[in-house]
Amino acid sequence: MDLALAEARSAFEEDEVPVGAAVVRDGMLLGRGHNRTRALSDPTAHAEILAITAACQTIGEARLDGAELFVTLEPCPMCAGAIVLAHIAKLHYGTPDPRAGACGSLIDIVREPRLNHQVEVYAGLAAEESRKLLEEFFTRKRAQNDDKL
């Protein structure tokens, strides 16, 4: 989770929503990423997607059987779908996302029994630090917007 938090801090420094992710299998880092939607002008450039893509490129496969994904914020529906499609075994996330979380908060895509793969989910890992990064980012954004008025 330390790698995911480091990625989230990088996103924060780049004025991106501070979410970071890392894919690990058998103790080896396969891929990591942080939100880059603004930098890449790409709404799909979420931390999880970038980390999964990097991991797949590392191993030269489209599936990450046996891998674990560590992410600072509960994944959204798009990222939850990618987690299922990549066949990630375990998801560890920091803070829940009651507005868009698709791993138990709003909906639960990763454990949907009608899909061909389900993921073990572990919530609350480094939740406080993950939450504080997000709060600080959005507090700063609101203050910047107030200054423009």
Contact of 23 with 34, CB cutoff 8 Å: no
Q: For residue 139, what is the enclosing H or E element?
A: helix 127-148
Task: Give pLDDT tens digits along the chain (149 positions).
Answer: 999 999 999 999 999 999 999 999 999 999 999 999 999 999 999 999 999 999 999 999 999 999 999 999 999 999 999 999 999 999 999 999 999 999 999 999 999 999 999 999 999 999 999 999 999 999 998 888 776 65
Cβ neighbour number for residue 106 with a 10 Å cutoff:
16
Radius of gyration of the chain (CA): 15
Q: Indicate which residue of 48, 68, 74, 112 is catalytic.
A: 48
Q: How do 28-34 and 20-25 pair as beta strands?
A: antiparallel
- Classify 11 as helix, strand or coil: helix
pTM: 0.95
Known active-site residue 16: no
